[in-house]
Amino acid sequence: MTADRAIELTKATLSVFGVTNWIVRVEPFVEQPKHYGLTSHRRRTIFLNNIYLDDDAEMAETICHECTHVFAPGVPCEPFDDKAVVADFAAKFKIVERAFERVRK
């Protein structure tokens, strides 16, 4: 996906849950090149690693993961590796994706 689409999709996901005041940035991760995404509550920003943009499935999962961090400040990543939790985000993400497709048409 493009950087613009990743940003729009992330913002669309947050807005479904009433969050509209976060910044989303797609950029190279210089200090942690292998990380897919990062959520900073202090900066109210989700960062997405631009080297993974070509992989739509990974990007979608990363967007779900980082958005979940927004709603769970201070909670580490591990609970989000739980299969049930991931399935729950995936279901929510599909709703967002469908809404997003409708908006694009």
Distance CA 36, CA 32 (A): 9
Which residue type does 83 have? K
CB of 62 to Zn ion, least distance (A): 9
77 vs 87 by CB, closer to Zn ion: 77
CB of 77 to Zn ion, least distance (A): 3
Number of other residues whose CB lies within 10 A of the CB of residue 25:
16
Q: Which is nearer to Zn ion, 75 or 98 (CB)?
A: 75
Q: How far is the CB of 69 from Zn ion (least distance, A)?
A: 6
Give the Cβ contact number of residue 55 at 10 Å: 13
**C-alpha span between 10 and 15 (Å, rounded):** 9
Nearer to Zn ion, 23 or 77 (CB): 77
Of 77 and 91, which has the nearer Cβ to Zn ion? Answer: 77
Residue number of the CB closest to Zn ion reads: 77
Closest separation in Å from C-beta 20 to Zn ion: 22
CA distance 94 to 56: 13
